[in-house]
Structure formats: C-alpha cells, structure tokens
C-alpha cells in the first residue's frame, strides 16, 4: 500500500510545479495570520505591562488617592471641605476599620532636590510610615526602613530609592551619610532594592518612578514640606488587606468613614488593583474576540481563494489523475494527495504569516514604542487554524479529484 511519506512527496511535487500560483493563493492566509500574530503581540505586550504595573501596587492593596476639585465642584464643597486627603483621614481609617490584618500607610508626595557633596538629583520625597514597606513589598537593600521611633520623634532620617542613591553615592556606602533634601539635613538610614519598572506607552495607571523615591517619616514631611492649602494634607493612603476576601468590605468601610469626614464631597478616589486587573483581563478578552473575528474572516476568505486554485488545479490535472487511477491509485490515494497539497499550501502560508507577523510586531515596538510580546499559544493557534482551513477547503477539490471517472479522465 501507498505510504504517507510518498503521498506527501507527491503533493510537494504537485505544488512546486506552479510556484507563483501557489504563493499567490496563500496570500490570504499569509496576511490573515500575520495580522493576527502582530495584533496579538501588541495585545499581549499591553496585558503584560498592565499586570506588571498593577502588581507593583500590590494586588491585595487598596489605594485611596486625593482627587483635586476644580471650579464649580470646589465652590459647591465650600472652604471647609474638599480639602483632599489629610493625615487625620488616615488615623480615622485606622480606627474606623475593625477588620483584622489591615495595614495603613499615609503618603505625602513632594518633589525636591537631594544634594550630597557636589552631586544632586531630583527626587520624590515620600512622607510615610514604617508600614509602607510591608504594604508594597518593597525591601531595603542596606540599612533599615523607617521605624516607629523615627515617626514618634519627627526624626530627620531618610531611606533612598536605588536610583537616587546611585546618583548621589555611586557604588559607595550611603548609610549614615548626611545629605540635604530641600532646605533640611537628613541622615540616610537605609537604601531600597531596585524595582523593575514597566514604562510602556499604554499605562493603565500613572506610576511615579519609585526608584527615585526618598522616604522620610510622615510627620517630618508634613512639617518640612508644607503643601500650602492644608498643613495636614497628604496625597495618598495605602492599605494592605492580608486576606483578599476582605478587600471589598474594607473598601466599603473606608468609603463610609471618608464620606462622613468629607461630608460626601468626592475629593478622593479608591483604586483597587485587583479590580483593575479584572478590568484589564476583560479588555484583553474583548480585544482577543475582535482579533479572533478578523482572523476568522480573513482565514475563510483565504481558504476560499485556496479552494478556487485547487479546483483549477484538479481540472488542469484531470489527465494526470486518470493516469494515476489507471496504474492503480485508489480514490482515497488521489483524495489524500490533493488534500495534503491544500494543507501544505495553508501550512506554508501559516508559517510565512507567523514570520511576517513577528516582523510586523517587531516594527511596531521599534517605531511606536509599544510593548509587544509573543505568545506561544497564539502561534500554535495560527498554525492549527491554517491546517484546519486547509483540510476544510481542501476537502471539496480533493473529493472532486478522487471521484473522477478514470476512463473519462483519460479520454480528455
């Protein structure tokens, strides 16, 4: 009996006979697959960037951020309210949320220059409490993070982010060094580990460069960096909920406490990374569905093009089919030969399409500076679909070839 290897060899011979025609017939598949692969790489890149950003906030975390009011809203709120977040809010939340294992840290963020010796650099000065390191999973590389004692005594100590430390001290030791932040002198007690940042073009959240953070005790920051509008104004409250099932309860309680305190003025927002993550996933799912639909259409169109060519191929090779039948090919041998020809055309189109898609994805990240990433699943899906298109659209021409009456085929 005829073996599969010989059949495939036959099919390849059948194809190379009309190289140009074969190539043209695969264009539909090529561009369909290339479009899908490149779009998926953009989508996958965006998804990874989003997840990385959200993870940086911590998925078990809640962030409460000030939301500055403007114009009419500010007028409506009146002078006493609409002040944004204050240090009092943080204390009230701490008392008002009786859920276990919830940690709070206020954040007061100011921009300031940091100077040491002849060097200086711009930094985000973050007034916060010792809990902040635990909430964000940030770790010190040397020394220690802020302590409760630093807070209680309004000490002028600071912990440097990896990048700012590098700028001021190079590879040297920074611990116990004295440096100037704004107008005051501070003692360095710790240096943070560097954190990997994703700075794609499609950020879900605006994140500051945390490697340029300089952490000081919150009370020190309130005193040394007055914001003008309110001496106790802070920018953010970070909350970590140990058990993620409690997140929504904590959010509800936090909202109650703050609304009471702020008289219902919406001058803050609550950000739940977990929810953002879900949103990102949902967006991704929609994106994938749209891509899938485009891919489906282009592959069907491509498949019809290939079927057309294969039908022409079969009628052109009627005599060959007659000869093959006369010398002993069974219907299924003919069928398999032409089916494999179609599948090979589609697979070749799929491979070229995947490579083209990679190239397009590469160009997109090169020129548009978008994150792109290639998923193996996408490549496998493209390949599998190309093969499936070959089988589906190859079946009809192959059947037509196999059903030819040998006597009729030879007479032509």
Partner 1 sequence: MLIETGDLRMVYQVGATPVHALTGVAITVDHGEFVVITGASGSGKSTLLNLLGCLERPSGGWYRLEGKQVEALDDDQLSRFRNQKIGFVFQTFNLIPQYNVVENVELPLIYRGVEKGARRARSLKILEQVGLGDKIEHRPSELSGGEAQRVAIARALAVEPVLLLADEPTGNLDSRTGTGIMELFSDLNRQGATVILVTHSQEVAGYGRRTIEMRDGRIIHDSATGENQRC
Q: Which is nearer to partner 1, 201 or 411 (CB)?
A: 411
> Does residue 146 interact with partner 1 by CB under 8 A?
no
Q: Which is nearer to partner 1, 379 or 409 (CB)?
A: 409
Our measurement of the distance from residue 207's CA atom to the centroid of its chain's CA atoms, rounded to an integer in Å, reads: 15
Among residues 333, 388, 395, 396, the one that binds partner 1 under rule CB under 8 A:
333
> Does residue 406 interact with partner 1 by CB under 8 A?
yes
Rounded CA gap, 373 and 350, in Å? 19
* Torsion sign over Cα 118, 123, 128, 129: negative
> Does residue 6 interact with partner 1 by CB under 8 A?
yes
Hey, what are 384's tokens?
A: 């599998």
Among residues 132, 325, 339, 347, the one that binds partner 1 under rule CB under 8 A:
325
Footprint (CB under 8 A) of partner 1, residues 172-191: none
> Does residue 329 interact with partner 1 by CB under 8 A?
yes
Rounded CA gap, 15 and 38, in Å? 28
Assess contact for 285 and 372: CB atoms under 8 A: no
Q: Which is nearer to partner 1, 63 or 324 (CB)?
A: 324
> Does residue 10 interact with partner 1 by CB under 8 A?
yes
Rounded CA gap, 266 and 85, in Å? 11
> Does residue 320 interact with partner 1 by CB under 8 A?
yes
Count interface residues toward partner 1 (CB under 8 A). Answer: 27
Stretches 5-13, 145-153, 255-263, 304-312: which one binds partner 1 (CB under 8 A)?
A: 5-13
Contact string 226-265 vs partner 1 (x = CB under 8 A) = ----------------------------------------
> What is the nearest approach in angstroms of partner 1 to the Cβ of residue 276?
59
Q: Which is nearer to partner 1, 152 or 407 (CB)?
A: 407
Q: Concatenated DSSP letters for 107-150?
A: EEEEEEEEEETTEEEEEEEEEE-THHHHHHT--EEEE----HHH
Stretches 36-44, 248-256, 273-281, 326-334: which one binds partner 1 (CB under 8 A)?
A: 326-334
Among residues 72, 95, 328, 376, the one that binds partner 1 under rule CB under 8 A:
328
> Does residue 331 interact with partner 1 by CB under 8 A?
yes
Q: What residues contact 231, with CB distance under 8 A and at least 6 apart?
A: 222
Question: Taking Cα atoms as reference points, which of 183, 170, 175, 163 lies closest to residue 123?
Answer: 163
Q: Which is nearer to partner 1, 24 or 326 (CB)?
A: 326
Stretches 103-111, 307-315, 384-392, 402-410: which one binds partner 1 (CB under 8 A)?
A: 402-410
> Does residue 398 interact with partner 1 by CB under 8 A?
no
Question: Taking Cα atoms as reference points, which of 85, 104, 108 lies closest to residue 96?
Answer: 104
> What is the nearest approach in angstroms of partner 1 to the Cβ of residue 398?
16
> What is the nearest approach in angstroms of partner 1 to the Cβ of residue 2?
5
**Paired strand residues for 184:** 181
Question: Taking Cα atoms as reference points, which of 355, 350, 358 lies closest to residue 390?
Answer: 350
Question: Taking Cα atoms as reference points, which of 335, 337, 336, 344 lies closest to residue 306?
Answer: 344
Q: Which is nearer to partner 1, 243 or 316 (CB)?
A: 316
> Does residue 20 interact with partner 1 by CB under 8 A?
no
Hey, what are 136's tokens?
A: 């964000």
Q: What residues contact 59, with CB distance under 8 A and at least 6 apart?
A: 244, 273, 274, 277
Assess contact for 112 and 216: CB atoms under 8 A: no
Among residues 111, 297, 326, 380, the one that binds partner 1 under rule CB under 8 A:
326
Stretches 50-58, 161-169, 314-322, 388-396: which one binds partner 1 (CB under 8 A)?
A: 314-322
> Does residue 4 interact with partner 1 by CB under 8 A?
no
Rounded CA gap, 339 and 337, in Å? 6
Q: What residues contact 156, with CB distance under 8 A and at least 6 apart?
A: 184, 185, 186, 187, 216, 220, 224
Among residues 149, 366, 368, 407, the one that binds partner 1 under rule CB under 8 A:
407
Q: Which is nearer to partner 1, 12 or 205 (CB)?
A: 12
Specify the DSSP class assigned to residue 232. Answer: T
> Does residue 310 interact with partner 1 by CB under 8 A?
no
Q: What residues contact 87, with CB distance under 8 A and at least 6 apart?
A: 106, 108, 218, 222, 232, 233, 234
Stretches 100-108, 150-158, 193-201, 329-337: which one binds partner 1 (CB under 8 A)?
A: 329-337
Contacts with partner 1 by CB under 8 A lie at 1-3, 6, 10, 13-14, 16-17, 319-320, 322-333, 405-407, 410
């Amino acid at each position: 009996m005829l073996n599969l290897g010989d059949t495939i060899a036959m099919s390849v011979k059948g194809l190379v006979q009309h190289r140009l025609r074969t190539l043209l017939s695969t264009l539909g598949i090529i561009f369909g697959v290339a479009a899908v692969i490149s779009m998926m790489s953009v989508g996958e890149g965006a998804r990874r960037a989003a997840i990385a950003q959200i993870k940086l906030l911590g998925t078990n975390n809640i962030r409460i951020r000030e939301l500055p009011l403007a114009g009419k809203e500010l007028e409506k709120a009146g002078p006493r309210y609409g002040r944004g977040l204050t240090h009092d809010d943080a204390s009230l939340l701490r008392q008002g949320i009786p859920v276990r294992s919830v940690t709070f840290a206020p954040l007061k963020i100011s921009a300031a220059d940091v100077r040491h010796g002849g060097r200086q650099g711009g930094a985000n000065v973050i007034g916060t409490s010792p809990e902040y390191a635990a909430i964000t999973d940030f770790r010190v590389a040397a020394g220690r993070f802020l302590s409760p004692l630093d807070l209680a005594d309004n000490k002028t100590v600071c912990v440097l982010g990896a990048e700012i430390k590098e700028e001021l001290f190079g590879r040297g030791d920074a611990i116990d060094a004295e440096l100037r932040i704004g107008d005051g002198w501070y003692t360095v007690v710790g240096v943070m580990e560097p954190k990997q940042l994703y700075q794609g073009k499609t950020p879900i959240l605006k994140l500051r460069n945390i490697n340029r953070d300089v952490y000081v005790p919150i009370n020190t920051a309130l005193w040394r960096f007055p914001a003008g509008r309110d001496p106790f104004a802070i920018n953010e409250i970070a909350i970590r909920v140990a058990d993620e099932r409690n997140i929504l309860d904590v959010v509800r309680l936090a909202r109650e406490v703050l609304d009471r305190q702020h008289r219902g003025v919406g001058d803050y927002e609550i950000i739940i990374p977990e929810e953002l993550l879900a949103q990102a996933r949902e967006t991704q799912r929609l994106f994938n569905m749209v891509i899938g639909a485009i891919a489906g259409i282009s592959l069907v169109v491509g498949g019809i093009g290939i079927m057309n060519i294969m039908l022409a191929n079969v009628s052109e090779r009627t005599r060959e089919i007659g000869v093959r039948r006369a010398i002993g090919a069974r219907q299924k041998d003919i069928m398999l030969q032409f089916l494999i020809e179609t599948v090979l055309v589609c697979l070749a189109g799929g491979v070229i399409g995947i490579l083209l898609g990679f190239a397009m994805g590469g160009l997109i990240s090169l020129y548009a500076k978008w994150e792109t990433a290639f998923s193996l699943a996408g490549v496998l899906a493209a390949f599998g679909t190309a093969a499936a298109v070959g089988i589906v659209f190859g079946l009809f021409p192959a059947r037509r070839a196999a059903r030819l009456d040998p006597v009729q085929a030879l007479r032509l």
